[in-house]
Amino acid sequence: MPKELLEQNADGLPLYRMVKQRILDSLAVGEWVSSQTLPSQSELCRRYNVSIGTLRKAVDELVQERILLRKAGLGTFIAPHESGPMLFHFFNIVGRDGEKRMPVSRLQSFSLSRAPAKIAERLHLKPGAPVYRIENVRMIDNEPALHDTLYVDCERFPGMAREDFENREGTIYSFYLARYGVNIIRTVESIAATACPAAVAKRLVIANQAPVLEMTRVALTYHDVPIEYRISYMSTLKHVYVNDQGKSRR
């Protein structure tokens, strides 16, 4: 493991922030993707030539942001999209009773397409760039609850096939990570109310023109690089979208 010397106070940044950036850089290039495990704290201390307190402060922030996960006695890991709070970190739909349930997604279509101007802009692509366009219906309690259409850059996911999606284990984001080393760590959603388009209403088995939520989401990886654009429609007869602001992250 090479030692990376950090000059003190470059840009006036505190040392622990510089360490944090170095760790993010390593994560971004996929340095620890295969093992999902980071070197031990003491090893990272030697690598960056900082004390344990400083190293821990850097990692503390990454744990807070749900990018890393620490387990006493085991080590420090890339936070998995499976299991635990992470499962619902990017999924805010609950039953009207308040109960959380994981949806099962059912692929509707998978096609090679070209990015419309607006979507290309959100994905930092050129208009007309080749993208995969994927339609899903998500079932909750064996009933259709959500319809979503998502777009990803073909170059970022070379050779992706319909079967990859259908046969994947776990969530879409864990699939991106396991198969392509692309880790989604942030999403930005806009929510509006609209009359349900006919094609979607049919798949959701609701009345045409019924009021539904229209959610557009951009999913980002390290350094806020956009990876996926998604537009979802959801009937709120049986479920609602929840947002908990100020919840303590523990």
Binding mask 129-168 for DNA (x = CB under 7 A): ----------------------------------------
Smallest gap from residue 158 Cβ to a copy of itself (A)? 26
Binding interface with a copy of itself (CB under 8 A)? 61, 64-66, 89-90, 92, 94, 185-195, 211-213, 234-236, 240-249
Strand partners, 138: 105, 146
Least distance from C-beta 191 to a copy of itself, angstroms? Answer: 4
- The correct pick among 38, 123, 125, 131 for binding DNA (CB under 7 A) is 38
| Strand partners of residue 150 | 134, 230
Binding partner selected for residue 208 from DNA, a copy of itself, none, CB under the kind-specific 5 to 8 Å limit: none
- Indicate the residue among 55 and 160 with the shorter CB distance to a copy of itself: 55
Distance between CA 56 and CA 133 in Å, rounded? 41
Contact 39, 50 (CB under 8 A): no
197 in Cβ contact with 181 (< 8 Å) = no
101: β partners: none
Would you say 40 or 194 has its CB closer to a copy of itself? 194
Q: How far apart are CA 185 and CA 23, in angstroms?
A: 14
Among the candidate windows 8-16, 83-91, 216-224, 235-243, which touches DNA by CB under 7 A? Answer: 8-16
40 lies in the site for DNA, by CB under 7 A? yes
Task: Provide, rounded to whole angstroms, the least separation between the CB of residue 220 and a copy of itself.
Answer: 8
Cα distances from 166 to residues 137, 145, 156, in angstroms, run 12, 18, 19
Query: Residue 54 interacts with DNA (CB under 7 A)?
Result: yes
Q: Could you give the dihedral angle defined by the CA atoms of residues 125, 130, 134 and 135, in that order, rounded to the nearest 10 degrees?
A: 80
Q: Quote the CA–CA distance of 152 and 133 in Å, as a whole number.
A: 7
Q: List all residues 6 or more positions away from 59 whose beta carbon is below 8 Å from its beta carbon.
A: 20, 23, 41, 44, 68, 70, 76
By C-beta, is 23 or 215 nearer to DNA? 23
Does residue 42 belong to the site contacting DNA (CB under 7 A)?
yes
User: Residue 129 has what DSSP assignment?
Assistant: -
84 is a contact residue toward DNA (CB under 7 A): no
Residue 161 CB, shortest distance to a copy of itself, in Å, is 29
